[in-house]
């Protein structure tokens, strides 16, 4: 189990590095106090967690039962790693050269749980690394309790960066603004560059691991 955790952790940390997600949560927390921003940010996290749990359960119940019967499972696993690594690389290139134009939207009541669910669905780089981490967990030939606990750990780590501002506002409501202000400044200025560099590193790792698995 510890060996699987060591392999999974870098991917889970990579999935957690989401400057857009962190800034979005901080933006929700910056809403006027009358709009109950903490509850909305918490609802956003619940929606994101629900999506990740669904993906984890799909991987657990579809991939894990097929592992013992897969004739060429090693090569198939390597090919999947290569594909996932390429997808991460493409996501980085796309985010670097193609930026979405901001559209003005009319104010309306938003179900923040659905926003969190949709955000995670569209957050390609995070999602691909999360899937890669879950794939390693279910391939670990662990028992169901160990596999489930590791998947929950991956979900927790993936959400940790976005959950941090919410936890701070609940634990230290008076000091939260002073704590989050420099984080917001750093992530706004350098968050994207740091995330892209780490994503490229993880893409290279996945592709290299996949090639070695296929050739081995």
Whole domain around residue 151: which residue ranges?
2-215
Whole-number pLDDT of residue 71:
44
17 pLDDT exceeds 60?
yes
The answer to whether 10 touches 205, Cβ cutoff 8 Å, is yes
pTM for the structure as a whole: 0.77
Q: Which residues contact 124 (CB under 8 A, 6 or more apart)?
A: 87, 91, 94
Whole-number pLDDT of residue 108:
55
Q: How many residues does the chain have?
A: 216
190 pLDDT exceeds 70?
no
| C-alpha to C-alpha distance for 131 and 123, rounded to whole angstroms | 12
| C-alpha to C-alpha distance for 179 and 207, rounded to whole angstroms | 38
- Residue 56: pLDDT band by 50, 70, 90 thresholds? very high
| Most trustworthy range by pLDDT among 16-30, 37-51, 69-83, 134-148 | 37-51
| C-alpha to C-alpha distance for 139 and 137, rounded to whole angstroms | 5
70 pLDDT exceeds 60?
no
Token output for 37 = 């921003």
Place of tokens 């990740």: 52
pLDDT mean over 200-205: 79
99 pLDDT exceeds 60?
no
pLDDT: is 67 or 171 the higher one? 171
Q: Which residues contact 120 (CB under 8 A, 6 or more apart)?
A: 47, 48, 51, 52, 126, 127
Number of domains in the chain: 1
């Amino acid at each position: 189990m510890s060996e699987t955790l060591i392999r999974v952790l870098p991917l889970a940390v990579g999935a957690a590095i989401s400057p857009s997600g962190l800034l979005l949560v901080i933006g929700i927390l910056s809403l006027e106090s009358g709009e109950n921003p903490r509850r909305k940010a918490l609802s956003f996290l619940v929606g994101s967690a629900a999506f990740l749990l669904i993906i984890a359960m799909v991987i657990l119940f579809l991939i894990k039962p097929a592992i013992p019967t897969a004739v060429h499972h090693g090569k198939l696993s390597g090919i999947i790693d290569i594909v996932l690594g390429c997808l991460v690389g493409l996501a980085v290139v796309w985010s670097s050269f193609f930026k979405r134009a901001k559209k003005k939207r009319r104010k309306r009541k938003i179900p923040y749980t659905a926003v969190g669910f949709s955000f995670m669905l569209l957050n390609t780089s995070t999602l691909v690394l999360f899937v890669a981490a879950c794939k390693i967990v279910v391939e670990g030939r662990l028992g169901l309790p160990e596999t489930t606990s590791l998947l929950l750990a991956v979900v927790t780590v993936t959400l940790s960066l976005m959950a941090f501002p919410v936890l701070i506002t609940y634990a230290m409501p008076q000091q939260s603004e002073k704590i989050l202000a420099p984080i917001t400044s750093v992530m706004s200025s350098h968050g994207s560059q740091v995330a892209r560099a780490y994503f490229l590193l993880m893409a290279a790792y996945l592709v290299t691991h996949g090639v070695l698995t296929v050739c081995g």
